[in-house]
Structure 1
Amino acid sequence: MIIADGIIALATIALAILFALNSVEIWHIYLLMFIRSLAGGFHGNSMAASTSLMVPKEHLTRIQGINQMLNGGLNIVAAPLGALLIELLPMQGILAIDVVTAAFAIVPLFFFAVPQPERIEQGQLQGVGKPSVWQDFLSGLRYMLGWPGLMMIALMAVLINFLLTPAFSLLPLLVKDYFGGEALQLGWINSAFGVGIIIGGLLLGVWGGFKRKIMTSMMGLVGMGVGTLLLSQVPPTGIYLAVGAALITGIMQPIVNGPIFAVMQSTVAPDMQARIFSLLSSMASGMSPIGLIIAGPISDKMGIQTWYLIGGSLCILMAFIGLMIPAVMNIEDRAIQQNETPPDGPIAAPLPGD
C-alpha cells in the first residue's frame, strides 16, 4: 500500500509541475492518470486483503458497510468541493492537495503494524525462487476456477457491471431526452443515489445483514434490480419518481457489495486474497466498456429506457438464480484456516467445501 500510494503521489506531483510550467499536454494527462489508476488498483486490493487480517470475521460485513457509507459520502462531497477549488485555486494547487492527502494515507502505515499472511509459493518449495507476476496471476486464476461458488460470484459481478455501468452512464441522456430535464434534475438523481449509498452503508454497518451473508447480497441485488427497473417505467413527467428509484438503487448498492466482500475476506485464503480481488476487479471492470458499446445502439434504436428495463430485469433474475445454486448459497461453509497452504502449493486448485 505504501508503494502504491507513493506512486500515486509521484504521478500527481509530476502533473502539478507540468501545470505550473504551463507545458502540460493531453498525452501527459492520459499517461499519468493511467499510472495513478494502475497504482490505485494495487492499493485497493491490498487494503481489502489486509482488512480480513485485522477485523474479526463476525464484523467484516459491518466494516464493509461503513466503507461503503464513507465512499458514498465522498461521492456527494467531491463534485461541489472540486468545483469550489477550481474557482479558488490553480490546477497545480488542487493537485498539491491530493499529494497532501496521499501523505496522510502513507505516514500512518509506518507506525501501525499491518499483519501479513505467510506466503509459501510452489516455486520456493521447489527451490526455484520467488514466482513471477504471471505465475501469481495463474495461481489466482486456478484458485478461482477450482472453486465453483467463487467462480459463479465472479461471473455475477461481471454481468452486473455489464448491465449497470451503461445504465448510470446513460443518466444524462435519460434526464435530458426522456424527462426533458437539465443539470439540476440530473443533480437530484445523482444526489439521491449518493444519499442512498450512505443510508445503505449505515444500515449495513448497524444491522450487519443476515446470518448467511450471501443471502443479504442476493436480496440487495433484487432491490437494485427493482430500482433500476423502476427507472424504465417512470413516465416522462415523473422526475421525482426517478429520484426515488435512484435512492432505492443507491441504498441497495452497499447491501450487495458489502457482504460479498465480507464473504471473500472470510473464506478465501489470506495469501490469495489480493490476487482474487485483482482478478475480480479486472474481470468486472473489463466488461464495463463492452456494456457501453452494446447499450448505446440499443438505446438509440429502442429507446433509452430499454437498457434500464433489461438491466433491472436481469439483475432480479440473476439474484433468484443465485439463490437456487448450492455452490453460491453454501460458499460460506468453506472453512479456511488462516495459515492454510494447499498441499501442492497455491497454484493448485482449492478443495471447495461447497
Structure 2
Amino acid sequence: MQNPSSSAWLGRFLSIWLGQVFSLVGSQLVQFAIIWNLTLRTGSATTLAFATLMAMLPAVLLSPFIGTWVDRMNRQVIMLVADACSMLVTIGLALLFWREADAVWHIYLALLLRSICERFHATAMGASTVLLVPKTHLARVQGLNQALHGGMNIIAAPLGAWLIAKFPLQVVLSIDVVTAILAILPLLFVRIPQPQRDADRNVTFWQDMREGFAYVIGWRGLLISLIMVSMINLVMTPIGSLLPLLVTKIFGGGASELGWMEAALSIGIILGGILLSVWGGFKRRIVTALFGLVLLGSFTLLMGIMPSSLIWAAIAMNGLVGLSLPIVNGSFGAMIQGVIAPELQGRVFSLVASFATAMAPLGLLLAGPIADSFGLRVWYILGGVVTIAMGVLGFGLRSVMTMESQSHEAEPPIVETSLSQAQAEAL
C-alpha cells in the first residue's frame, strides 16, 4: 500500500494521534501514582528497582515476538485490544485499592501487564504511521511525538502529585480509564491502512520472525545503524541516573538546581521536537540524525568538562542536550519508517527497541563502578566522545549514508521469503 499523498491523511492521523495524547497523559499519571505508592509503602530502593524491571522486561524479552504478531495481524485490532486490556488492568488495580486488598505483587503484575500492552500498541502504531503519513512528513510527525513526550515529562509529575494529594489513589487510576476510552474511540471509526500481504504466502509465526532477523542482519546499513544505536544507548542511558550526583558532588547544587537541570532537559526536548516538526530536517534524514548525534555528544562532553563554578551554564547545556535528542531520535525513527517495507516494520521496530533497551541495564551496571573509581566526569566525557565518534563514523560509512536511497521494495538479497518446514523446526 502506498503512502497517502492528499491532505486527507492529516485529519485521519490527527484524530488517532490526539486520542493517543490523552492516553499518554493517563498512563503517565498512573505510572507516577504507582511508583509514589511503592515509595511511601516500602521506602525500598530494591522494590523500586524491581518495579522498573517489570516495566522494562517486555521491551527487552518480548519485542521480537510482539513485532512478529504485529506484522501478521490487523494492526488496528491490536491497538484496540492493547488499549482495552491496559484499561482493564488499571480497573482491576483501582478496585483492589478501593477494597484495600492490594499487595505489592499486584502492583508488579499490573506494571508488567501494562508494559506488555504498551509494547503491542507502540509497535502497531509505529508500524502503521508510514501508511498514515506521507513520507515527506514523517520527520515532522516524529518531532511532534518527541515534543509531546518532553511535555509529559514536565507536567506528569506535578499533576500526579497534586491529584494524589487531593484524591484517593483509585480515583487517580480511574483517570487513565477515561483517557483510554478517548484513545479507543477514534480507532473504532477511523480506518488504519494495512500493509499488502501475499495471500498465497503460507508461512508460520517462526518463519516470519526469522525473516525479520534476516532482514536486519542482511541489510548492512541498517545493521550497522542498530549497532551504533546500541553503543550510544550503552553510554548515554546511565547519564540520567548520574545527574543528581553530578549536580550535588561536582557543581555543589541542591534540590532546586537539580529541578532546574531536569526542567531544562524537558524544555529542550519540547523545543527540539517543535524545531524538527516545523523544519523537517535536511533532505536526507540520516544526515539530520548524524548531525544531531554530533551535537548531542558535544553538549554531553561539555557538561563533563564544565568548571564546577558554572552550574547555570551546565543547566543551559543540559537544555541543549534535550534539544538535540528529538533531532536524533525523530530523524532516525522517520528514516526507519521510510526505508523499511511496511509489512516488515513491526518486526524491525521491535528489534530496534530490543537492541536499544537491552543495553540500558548493562550501561547502568557499568556506570556505577566506573564513576566511583574514576569520577563522575569520566562517564560524561566517555558518553560524549562515544556519541560524537558514532556520528562521525556514520558520515564515513557508505552503507549508512545510502540507506534512504535503497528502495524498500527491493529487499536485501539474503532475506528469505519462504523457508522449509525443516528449517522452521530447527529454529
TM-score, normalization by structure 2:
0.77
Kept after mapping to 1: 8 A contact 2:211/2:415: no
Letter of the structure 1 residue corresponding to residue 251 of structure 2: F
SS at match of 1:170: helix
State the superposition RMSD in angstroms. Answer: 2.0
- 1:105 is displaced (CA, Å) by 0.8
Kept after mapping to 1: 8 A contact 2:207/2:418: no
Structure 1: 5+ residue stretches without partners: 349-354
Other-structure match for 1:131: 204
Other-structure match for 1:39: 117
Structure 1 residue 77 corresponds to structure 2 residue 150: no
Other-structure match for 1:206: 278
Other-structure match for 2:266: 194
Kept after mapping to 1: 8 A contact 2:214/2:416: no
Note the 1:39-78 alignment, pairs <5 A. 39-78=117-156
Q: Within 1, Cα distance between the matches of 2:418 and 2:81?
A: 25
Other-structure match for 1:112: 190
Other-structure match for 1:290: 362
Kept after mapping to 2: 8 A contact 1:197/1:254: yes
Other-structure match for 2:19: none
Letter of the structure 2 residue corresponding to residue 180 of structure 1: G
- 1:176 is displaced (CA, Å) by 2.0
Alpha-carbon distance change, 343 to 86 in structure 1, aligned in 2, over 3 angstroms = closer
Other-structure match for 1:157: 229
Q: Within 1, Cα distance between the matches of 2:347 and 2:183?
A: 22
- 1:343 is displaced (CA, Å) by 8.8
Kept after mapping to 2: 8 A contact 1:143/1:346: no
Note the 1:272-283 alignment, pairs <5 A. 272-283=344-355
Letter of the structure 2 residue corresponding to residue 219 of structure 1: F
Letter of the structure 2 residue corresponding to residue 125 of structure 1: R
Letter of the structure 2 residue corresponding to residue 19 of structure 1: F
Structure 2: 5+ residue stretches without partners: 1-78, 421-427
Other-structure match for 1:229: 301
Q: Within 1, Cα distance between the matches of 2:340 and 2:196?
A: 14
Aligned residues: 341
Alpha-carbon distance change, 302 to 195 in structure 1, aligned in 2, over 3 angstroms = same
Kept after mapping to 2: 8 A contact 1:19/1:92: yes
1:90 to 157, 168, 180: 168
Letter of the structure 1 residue corresponding to residue 136 of structure 2: E
Q: Within 2, Cα distance between the matches of 1:131 and 1:193?
A: 45
Letter of the structure 2 residue corresponding to residue 334 of structure 1: Q
TM-score, normalization by structure 1:
0.92
Letter of the structure 1 residue corresponding to residue 159 of structure 2: L
Q: Within 2, Cα distance between the matches of 1:256 and 1:164?
A: 13
- 1:267 is displaced (CA, Å) by 1.2
Q: Within 1, Cα distance between the matches of 2:391 and 2:285?
A: 14
Q: Within 2, Cα distance between the matches of 1:21 and 1:50?
A: 40
Kept after mapping to 1: 8 A contact 2:214/2:415: no
Structure 1 residue 317 corresponds to structure 2 residue 393: no
Q: Within 1, Cα distance between the matches of 2:245 and 2:281?
A: 35
SS at match of 2:193: coil
Q: Within 1, Cα distance between the matches of 2:85 and 2:315?
A: 39
